[in-house]
Amino acid sequence: MDGCSNRREELPQKGQQIVVFKTCIDELKKHLKNKKRDSKRIAAKRALKIVRHAKWKKLLTVSKIKESQNFADNVIFVKVSADRIYSRVAVITQDKKLAYDLVNLNNLASQRGYKVFVYKIAPGGVLENNKGAPAIKEKHSQPIEKDN
């Protein structure tokens, strides 16, 4: 986003918009308070600074929060799932599990819509495809049978 804010004429193009969900900003603010992991705190501080600057330059808008929006991944998934029916959607996320779920929206047999594009920011600030990785579910132990 740092480089993007210097090229305002390129982003967003006519008919496109960049939206950051309020829940995402809230999650960044939560990471800002993380005393245990400096890397998360520093990254969150930098991201919030970039969002503030981009908002000031009118490169993006921040959506309002609704009561049903409980955490960022859920909000993004639900919004993309609904919007892809009528609009082209691209998401930039480092979250592998979210990326995997979003990419799999393209494989739905019961719903038609535009293809969802998911990217991540690679070293050097370059966007590259993010296919994600499936969540590894923990195996639950077998229930203990009682002796009669």
Read off the pLDDT of residues 45-55 as tens digits, 9 standing for 90 and up: 888 888 888 88
| For residue 3, pLDDT beyond 70 | no
| For residue 61, pLDDT beyond 90 | no
Nearest 5 degrees, angle CA 59-CA 64-CA 67?
155
Q: Which residue in the block uniquely carries the two structure tokens 């982003």?
A: 11
Q: How far is CA 53 from the centre of its chain?
A: 19
d(CA 81, CA 35): 35
Indicate the pTM of the whole model: 0.63
pLDDT digits (tens, 9 = 90+) for 120-135: 888 877 888 888 888 7
Average the pLDDT over each of 2-6, 58-62, 85-89 and give the range with the smallest value: 2-6
| For residue 60, pLDDT beyond 80 | no
| For residue 115, pLDDT beyond 50 | yes
For residues 63-91, average pLDDT: 79
pLDDT band of 141, cuts 50, 70, 90: low
